[in-house]
Structures are given as structure tokens and as C-alpha cells.
Amino acid sequence: MTLVLDRYRLDPVHLGRGGMGVVWGAQDEKLGRRVAIKFIRFPDGMPDPELEARFTHEAKIMSRLAHPGAPVLHDFGSYQDPARGSRLLMVMQFVEGTGVDDVVAEHGPLPLGWVASIGAQVAAVLAAAHELGILHRDLKPPNLMLRRDGSIQVVDFGLALMDDPALTRLTRTGQQLGTAAYMSPEQVSAGQPTERSDIYSLGAVLHELLTGRHLFTGPSEYSVMDQHINARPVAVGQLRPDVPRALDELILAMLEKQPEDRPATAAEVHDRLMPYLAGTGPLGDMATPGSSPTRMYAHAISRTLTDGVRSSVPATMNAPADDQFSRSDIRLARRRAMSLVKESRYGDAADVLARTAAPASDNLGAVDPDVIGLRWQLANVLFDCQDHRRAAREFQRIADDLLRQAAPDHEQISQCRLQEATCHLHAGDPELALHIMRELLADETSRFPEDDARLLELRRQVGELEVGIGAVDQARSTLSNLRDDLTRLYGSDHGATIRVSELLASLA
């Protein structure tokens, strides 16, 4: 195995190859750690000063961006390759994980909670990059690495643009940089990219994670790029009815043709995704629950600098008197709660929402759309601050109130029940979660055809919960029937079929 710079022992096979670089895993023999080494790659085999400048540019960007969601740059320099001559290289943190494109290929459309989690994490990295004047410009599923603890790393800043007058734009005349399926309209038309260009690309990614297919498709890259400029995207809700309307509207807003019509900042996108961050059970062996130093660290930060500040919640946020209550009180409470969540003051945010929920229900009705939105936000904030049992009660109450309506919104009820089950699972009560999921499956079976994708997904989740509690015979029956149906519908080599087959094999 090749030894680079007298310390890095390269693996026998490279990890991946892009337009500008080849990445190898390696062992740092001096410090005894795993690293990733990215060597510059010249597509035609001839040295290219512009590619060398862009490669150096990427290293400068990575050296500035210090964030848990981006790889750490350990070193940068050149290596005298006996076969290829002098080659620039970057030595980076080795990221153990799976590309989100591979996650979708195996699991198909992802659960809402996972999409929200991935989107919110990426938005947080973008917010940090944008504060430094860095635009990624090539956000796409292969550049998002899902680690086993559920965290996301945003990788490959090879096309990133840094707002630094000392650096060149490094773009050939007429050259379009990016990946056609995720390029913003202004990138397609060679216009000036902005922070909102990254927001558009993230919207295209979220659309794909929810639907399992590209935002736009066509016979050529030109066709796809033309659609980014001229075609309206299909709303996710038309393809996947379980997506809440507000989430659907957020993604459509991120995909607006004019940058000024999109959310203003990545931080805003993060905040609007956070209410949907529930229902993130295991994704096969790609992401599994368990102790994680990253999660422990983040949890500690979320509880830091919050003690002794409850009194700073404005007195005006106390519950308004019944005769003075109005919808503006709901809007004010929700905005205030969102601000508190941004400060990681989840307990204070829950208090603000809870104090407003009771008079709101009394005056406007428990199932008024504005009141439901408030109660839904409360349940999600409780989930975020690890109060899973109280969050489960809130979701259950919302579902019960919706069910008593003359014309129940079954989609919303189903989402509440799914979130309730997720809360019990996180609270350490998988038996109760399984009971709720079985009830939900029975209800949904009466509403949809037997081959509906929603039923297939619920059956898989029920089977996984049965495996989790050790109900082997029940799990084998559930998963065997599901595998047969998936094979009939999609074939034996489809990702969903393979996943269920692997579960069955684990039972043997």
C-alpha cells in the first residue's frame, strides 16, 4: 500500500471520484487515526492551473468552516507521485457514513421526521457557511453523509464560492457549475448565485427525499435545466398525502423561481423544519439508536445558558384573559416560542405555547386550524426537549379532538398517531408504540387499497417494532407477507424488498 508524505498509508481502493478529485481512505501512522485524502484529479490527465486554483480554493473554504456538520481539514499540500508527478492533496476528517442518495435508493421516500432532520441539519451548516460568505453551490444527496448516530455531514465544497475579493471566481467563460437536478434557476442562467441559491438546491433535495424521485426529469441535462427556469414543481402533497400542508408550502417556497420569493435565510428554513422533527426511528443499519458522543454533546449544549432565564420571558406572554383573546395572541405565542427554540430554551418555549393553548381552545375551539397549529408546535417542542411522554399525550389529545369532528381529517389524525407512537418508542415503551401502530394500520387498511404505499410502509414499521420487542413469530409473519407483496409489486431487487428480506434473514 502506498505511503504518502511518509505518514499516510492509503487503502487498496479509493472511496470515490468526482470531477476534480479522487478520495482515498488512509491510516495516519504518526497519529494512529483514520483520515480521508483527496487528491486533485485532471480529467484529461494534463495539469490545469485553474483546477489547481479551485482545489486550493476549496481547502481555504474548509479551513474557515468549523462546524460539526462539515468535515475538518487536517492538512493541505502537495505530494510527488512517482507516476503522476506533483499532485495537490487535502487531508480531511474521515466520515463514516452513507450518502443520502444511497439511503433513498434503499429505503425509497423517507419518513417525514427524517426528512426534517436531514433538512434542518443541512440548513444549520449552510447558516454557518453563509455567515462566512461561503456558498456551497452543489448541494445534492451524494454530498450529504448520514452517520450511524443520525447526524449529517455536508461534504464536497469543491464548487463553493467564498465572498472574498482576494480570490478569483474560478469559472470559465460560459461554464455552468453544479448538478443539473439541483441547480437553482439563477445558476442555470449563469446569473449571480446567492445564499438563496443554496436554499433552492436544498428544497430540491427535500422534495426528492419525500417523493423518492428527482424534482425534474428529462431526456437530457438541458431539458432538466430548462425546467428549473420555466416549469412549476409538483407539490409534494400531490405525490404524498401524508405531508403536512405547511411543510409542503415551505418546500414550494424554497423552490420559487425568483430568489427574493424564497425564505431569506437558511436559519429560517431550519426553524420551519424543526416542528416536523419526530418519527426518526432506525433506518436499517444506516442509522441506529444508541449512545452517541455527538448527540450527548448537542444535548448538553441545548441545556446550557438556559438556567435562571425563565423570568426573561415577557410578561405579555402570560395567557390572555378570555375576553381579550384573539388570533394575534396565537401568532405572537408561536413566534415567541420559535425565538426561544432558536436559543435552545425548549422548556420556556413549551411554557409559552401551553399557556396560550388553553384559552385558545376555549375561545376558538380545540380543532380550529390556528389552534391545531399551536398545539402541534407544542407537542413537537416537548419532543425536542426530550419530554416524550408529555409530547405523546399532546399528540393523542389532538388526534382525539380531530376524530370527534363531523368530517375528520384522517390524514392529520394518522400523522398524530404516528408521532404519538414515535414518542412512546423514544420514551422506552416499544410495546405501547407497537399497539398504537397496529391500531393505525387497521384504521388505514379500511381507507386505502391493500397495495397503497402508505400501508406498505406501516406494515414495515409494525414488523420492525415486533422484531424490536422480540415477538419473533409475529414479526416473521408480518414481514414474510410484506416481502411477498413487495416482490409482486416491485421485484426482488428493489431496495424496499431487500430491506425486508434482510430483516427476515436476521430473525433466522
Q: Are 363 and 369 in contact (CB under 8 A)?
A: no
**219-243 pLDDT tens trace:** 888 899 999 999 999 999 888 888 8
Task: Assess whether the region 3-93 and the region 98-165+179-276 belong to the same CATH fold.
Answer: no
Q: How high is the pLDDT of residue 138?
A: 87
Q: Residue 374: what residue type?
A: L
Q: Which residues of 220-257 are buried (b: 16+ CB within 10 A; e: fewer)?
A: eeeebbebbeeeebebbbeebebbbeebbebbbbbbbb
Q: Look-up: residue for cell 420551519?
A: 272
- The torsion angle over the Cα atoms of residues 459, 464, 470 and 474, rounded to 10 degrees, is 20
Output the pLDDT for position 326: 78
Strands (E), 61-164: 73-81, 85-93, 98-99, 134-135, 144-146, 152-154, 161-162
pLDDT, tens only, 305-351? 655 444 344 434 444 444 456 788 898 888 888 888 877 788 888 99
Secondary structure E strands in 123-206 = 134-135, 144-146, 152-154, 161-162
Beta bridge partners of 36: 25, 92
Among residues 312, 400, 406, the alpha carbon closest in space to that of 351 is found at 312
- pLDDT score at 322: 44
pLDDT at residue number 166? 42
- Report the candidate in 167, 53, 38, 39 with the shortest Cα–Cα distance to residue 95: 38
What's the Cα-to-Cα distance from 245 to each of 154, 248, 307, rounded to whole Å? 28, 5, 36
Structure letter (DSSP) for residue 147: P
Is 36 within 8 Å of 62 (Cβ atoms)?
Answer: no
- Is 342 annotated as ligand-binding? no
DSSP 227: H
Distance from C-alpha of 203 to C-alpha of 139, rounded to nearest angstrom: 10
Domain ranges of the chain: 3-93, 98-165+179-276, 293-507
Is residue 138 annotated as a catalytic residue, yes or no?
Answer: yes
249/238 Cα distance (integer angstroms)? 12
Whole-Å CA distances, 375 to 202, 275, 315, 368, 419: 28, 11, 21, 10, 13
Question: 368: burial class by Cβ within 10 Å (0-12, 13-18, 19+)?
Answer: middle
As to burial, measured by CB atoms within 10 angstroms (0-12 exposed, 13-18 middle, 19+ buried), residue 335 is exposed
Q: How confident is the chain (508 residues) per 10-residue block, as mean pLDDT? A: 88 80 91 92 80 84 85 90 84 90 89 92 93 88 90 80 48 56 91 90 96 91 92 90 86 94 92 78 67 67 55 42 68 87 83 91 89 90 87 93 87 87 88 93 90 86 90 94 92 83 87
**Radius of gyration, alpha carbons of the chain:** 25
For residue 319, what are the contacts with CB-CB under 8 A and spacing of at least 6? 355, 356, 358, 359
CB 442 within 8 A of CB 482: no
DSSP β-ladder status, 98-99 and 144-146: antiparallel
Spatial separation of the C-alpha atoms in residues 209 and 207, rounded to whole Å: 6
Q: According to the CATH classification, is domain 3-93 in 3.30.200.20?
A: yes
CATH entry, 98-165+179-276, from 1.20.120.1230, 1.20.810.10, 1.10.510.10, 3.40.47.10: 1.10.510.10
Which of 75, 81, 102, 138 is labelled catalytic?
Answer: 138
CATH fold group of domain 293-507: 1.25.40
**Residues facing residue 14 across a β-bridge:** none
Residue 292, Cβ density class (10 Å: 0-12 exposed, 13-18 middle, ≥19 buried): middle
